[in-house]
Structure 1
Amino acid sequence: MPKLIIRQTRPEDIDALVRMQREVYPGITAWHRDRVVQQIEMFPQGQLVAYYDNRLVGCASSLVIRWDEWADEHTWDEITAAGTFDTHDPAGFTLYGAEVFVAPKVRGKRVGHALYEARRRVCKALNLRRIIACGRLPGYHLLAHEMTIELYARKVLWGDLCDPVLSFQLREGFRFCGIMKNYLAQDHESQGNAALIAWVNPDYDTSRPTALQLPLSAQPELSI
């Protein structure tokens, strides 16, 4: 039986990762190799890949931020420094989900769930307060002529509509916190909108620093 493996992204994964991103998002500019290299160098613990049957089939990328600095409206380019992750801040308490994608051929194999679960383990291992992300709303373009993005999101929350991304994120235990407009202009399916979502770490210990605030020699090895 094929085996699903989640691990930290390595340099040898990058070419396949960029090719897969182009396949998943043909209408959105893919990362360049040097961007992924920089993400790994900046925050290796937050860069994850999924392998199924020895093939790369998924990716989850994240950085740490001080959420208070970004809680107002922001774009993907602003909060990720155009994908360089120069905004990564080891003094922060929030794991920010910059990207998740899964190869279409393995959808239904719970790859997305495994990547989200691995990201939650990273959050807990680093003693971070929460995970925040801005998720796509790819079903909206089909109904944009009928309703506002706010009503569309509410109908997904009520169960009247199913959005491929937001419905999945709600099942993963994330809370819907509102709409970020003009988040990613290239995302025509979402009409540039994104759903602001949050997951609060139930194991967060306010009496301890986050692992990233410790000296490098004292930081734990992550077991994903």
Structure 2
Amino acid sequence: MHKSFIILGEQTAQRAAIRRYGPDDFEGLIDIQRQSFPPPFPPELWWNEAQLREHVGRFQEGALCAEIDGRLAGSMTALRVGENQLAGGHTWAAITDDGYIRNHDPQGQVLYVVDICVAPAYRATGIGKWLMQSMYEVVVHLGLSRLVGGGRMPNYHRHAATLSPDAYVERVIRGELRDPVLSFLLRCGRMPAGTVRGYLEDEESCDCAALMEWRNPFFI
């Protein structure tokens, strides 16, 4: 995949592109993680070169990056899994092989989102939505049934004493509450498909995540 487009602001026009990432991009992708998750976020949880090499080597179609005016602005990574791998609940570490995707199934009918990350300086450009749309195009191109991924719920800790994870998601869907991640995913066309407790060590989300999916309208 390689597509180019223009991002229009009120008084600006920026040239943007989404393409597959490769070894020449690794340093820049790790730097985006560093900018996005500064201390006290543990540096060992940023992407490392070994993980990125696995992404490129095992499933290049699911290794996308975004550029704005020639500079790396974000990335999105996915792997293919079978429905059986999703049955009965899962954690991020288990379904993504701790981010190494060595469990990628070339015959899997589900595209599972490992990560989406946009550098702070580019978060008002809409590039995250462009990355998501591009991954939907991968689903259609490969003839897969759907895209699925666990969405953080960073505002949930404010309501956990009175709302279950499912109730919190429902309130966000109704527009009664706003969550920076779930609201973004809803704007991208993702729909809730359940919640998972213990998905990822994440104090803000109380270790919970909302499974959010996009179904391929062309899948038969």
Answer yes or no: same fold by TM over 0.5.
yes
Which residue is 2:29 aligned to? 17
Query: Per residue, is there more strand in 1 or in 2?
Result: 2
Which residue is 2:64 aligned to? 48
Letter in 1 for 2:22: R
Matched, 1:143 2:159: yes
Displacement of 1:103: 1.1
The one of 136, 158, 172 aligned to 1:120: 136
Displacement of 1:174: 1.3
Q: Write the distance in 2 (CA, Å) between the matches of 1:189 and 1:17.
A: 24
Show CA shifts across 1:60-116 (max 9, x none): 000000022222211111011111101100111111111101111111211011001
The one of 46, 49, 63 aligned to 1:33: 49
- Judge conservation of contact 2:85–2:95 (CA < 8 Å) in 1: no
Structure 1 stretches lacking a partner, 5+ long: 207-224
Which residue is 2:180 aligned to? 164
Residues paired across the two proteins, number: 204
Letter in 2 for 1:6: I
- SS of equivalent to 1:178: strand
Q: Write the distance in 1 (CA, Å) between the matches of 2:58 and 2:127.
A: 25
Matched, 1:193 2:208: yes
- SS of equivalent to 1:31: coil
Matched, 1:131 2:147: yes
Structure 2 stretches lacking a partner, 5+ long: 1-12
Displacement of 1:172: 1.5
TM-score for the superposition, normalised by structure 2: 0.88
Provide the identity percentage: 35
Letter in 1 for 2:199: Y
Greater relative CO (CA pairs within 8 A, separation 6+): 1
Q: Write the distance in 1 (CA, Å) between the matches of 2:206 and 2:31.
A: 24
CA RMSD of aligned residues (A): 1.3
Which residue is 2:198 aligned to? 182
Which residue is 2:104 aligned to? 88
Matched, 1:77 2:93: yes
Matched, 1:4 2:16: yes
Larger mean Cα displacement after TM superposition, 108-117 or 64-73: 64-73
TM-score for the superposition, normalised by structure 1: 0.87
Larger mean Cα displacement after TM superposition, 144-153 or 108-117: 144-153
The one of 203, 212, 220 aligned to 2:218: 203
Letter in 1 for 2:187: R
Q: Write the distance in 2 (CA, Å) between the matches of 1:55 and 1:146.
A: 44
- Judge conservation of contact 2:17–2:68 (CA < 8 Å) in 1: yes
